Amino acid sequence: MLRAATSLPLHHPRPNLNICSGGIIPLLLPQIRTAHSSRSNRSPKPAVPRRAAETMTIPPAVLLSAHKSGASSISPGAAQALINDYAGRTTSPPSEALGEKFCSDHEVTPEDLAILTSLLLRLNAPGSLPLLRHLLTTCAHMNVPSAVVRLHSLLTAQVRRGGASAMTEADLAATTKRLARIAPEHAGGAFRMGEAMEMAGELDRAEVWFEKAGQGEVMEGWVRLGTLRRNKGDLQGAREALEKAAEMGSARGCYFLVQAMEEGEGGVEGAEEGEEIKGVGGKRLGLLTRAGAGGVVEAAYELGSYWREREAKFAEEWFLVAASQGHVESIVALAQLLMDKGNISSAKIWAQKAANMEGEIGAYGTEILQELSRMEEERQKGSCEE
């Protein structure tokens, strides 16, 4: 608690003006008068007007499907007019009052506005970020949970890249507090809190939030919870979480469940031959197939390796799935498989892709190209002899 300052004495000692009277008076008094004069004439600096953000052009096709499907209640034409108007209002800082007035003027809800902003952010249109960040922040001020989650993700990425302004860091701190308020009742917010805790190294708290997100039907919450448990050696807990993710249809959940099964009792053989998991099927091959079909490239590569010695046609299909997404081991494996089948022209395409890479993959690709050249020469010699 601050103490009141001690009262000053009512009388003041008078300076002896006779001492150096010729020096003190002429030197000090004019300086005092000058200082007081300049202070009284000083006018406050005018506020620098805030520049309006540039508007953006919205391709109609981008919002047409969302509008027709009912995902967005705002038509493409109305969206363009709305964005143009909002750009002119960005001379004011984001606020709840600004958002409510804007929604009232355009007869849209804060949720409609947040959905539109999310759709436009996916475009990643050049120069659009200042406008969309302003709009997203306004939606967050209006307590739209999805806007709070998206804004927190956006600001976190900016800060982690480095070089963020003090204002951006302050915005992130304020958004984090807002996120903590909505997370207990919003599954997406709970998942985002889990991500934030994991990035901060608070893994126990991250597990709590990921579990809450999973319970709110965010299947990736179970995946992340299972991964954290697996990393700390809790294989049983990992399997329980990943089974729930797989039952909900998560391709990543299926793939990580296979890994947890392999690390647990029985290894690969037991996981492949035995136990059934309710709602999943349980067997390793079935889980891998679901994961590969769901876009997990590592699963597609493992499926290609599984089928290589059993059915080359299936192996080629799975290696192609993974190689087409840039999985380097699959690129080499596909080139090798095509070479073994005698499909020189197709093998060359994939071998060249591998050869263009650095390190061991590049060396493998070069070796395959050399072997393909030798095979091609032999084939040409054989045709000439005939």
In a domain, residue 326? The reply is yes
319 domain-assigned: yes
CA distances from 105 to 82, 159, 271, 311 (A): 10, 34, 60, 64
Tokens of 111: 């949720």
Do the domain assignments include residue 314?
A: yes
Which amino acid is located at 253 in the chain? G
Report pLDDT for 377.
87
Which tokens is 326 given? 């840039």
Cβ(76)–Cβ(64) below 8 Å: yes
Instruction: Evaluate whether 308 touches 315 at the Cβ level (below 8 Å).
Output: yes
Digit-coded pLDDT (tens) for 48-86: 567 889 999 998 888 898 888 888 999 999 999 999 999
The answer to whether residue 321 sits within a structural domain is yes
* Domain-located, residue 211: no
State the pLDDT at residue 163: 84
Residue 110, helix vs strand vs coil: helix
Of 173, 99, 201, 78, nearest to 142 by C-alpha is 99
The structural domain count of the chain equals 1
What number of H helices and E strands is found in the chain? Answer: 20, 0
Angstrom distance (rounded) from CA 374 to CA 147? 60
Q: Is residue 169 part of a domain?
A: no
CB 335 within 8 A of CB 323: no
Q: Which tokens belong to 130?
A: 């200042």
pTM, rounded to two decimals: 0.76
Amino acid of residue 372: L
pLDDT for 271: 41
Q: Which pLDDT value is given to residue 48?
A: 57
Q: What is the Cα–Cα distance from 188 to 150, expressed in whole angstroms?
A: 10
Residue showing tokens 């355009």: 106
Token code pair at residue 333: 């494996």
Q: Does 372 reside within a domain? A: yes
Regions of the chain with pLDDT less than 70: 1-49, 265-282, 382-386
User: Please, are residues 59 and 128 in contact by the beta-carbon 8 Å criterion?
Assistant: no
Which pLDDT score, from 0 to 100, does residue 173 have? 95
Helical axes 129-141 vs 110-121, angle rounded to 10°: 150
Residues of the domain holding 337: 308-385
Q: In this structure, what token pair is assigned to residue 279? A: 């709602």
pLDDT tens digits for 302-337?
999 999 999 999 999 999 999 999 999 999 999 999
> Does 187 fall in a domain?
no
